Amino acid sequence: MNSHVRSRTPAGKVNVSSTETTLQMRIGRTYRFEAAHRLPLVPEGHKCRNLHGHNYRVSIVVRGALDTRGFVKDFAEIDEVVNPLLALLDHRLLNNVNGLENPTAEIIANWFFNRIPGCERVRVYENDECWAEVGF
């Protein structure tokens, strides 16, 4: 069982300490890219078997303890990992990218997840209503 002690500083900030665990924080950053794809494994006649495109949105969540700077991770450090991945996908045919030969939203989310150290969760939006998420 975790025994957390919470107290307020004179400025109203909450201090949290634990005698058994380190407090884990989460941070997130959202990115966008545009790309075309087709889903070769859906049945003939399925609209997604045809070449089409999306304005994708990718949300990355990283978890960890605060470092000496007060960060889980600096957002610029996340950018250093994610931006080169986005460059591989932006304005491309996703089916031509290694690992995305069948680029469903689920597979795209997993592709990002496996390439971002310390990542807890990735959510890929094909549009405002449809998304897939991978994480633990």
Tell me which residues are annotated as active site: 48, 91, 126
Distance CA 92, CA 85 (A): 12
Q: Can you give the three-state secondary structure of the chain, one letter per residue?
A: CCCEEEEECCCCCEEEEECCCCCCEEEEEEEEEEEEECCCCCCCCCHHHCCEEEEEEEEEEEEECCCCCCCCCCHHHHHHHHHHHHHHHCCCEHHHCCCCCCCCHHHHHHHHHCCCCCEEEEEEECCCCCEEEEEC
- What tokens does 120 get? 């807890």
The answer to whether the beta carbons of residues 126 and 54 sit under 8 Å apart is yes
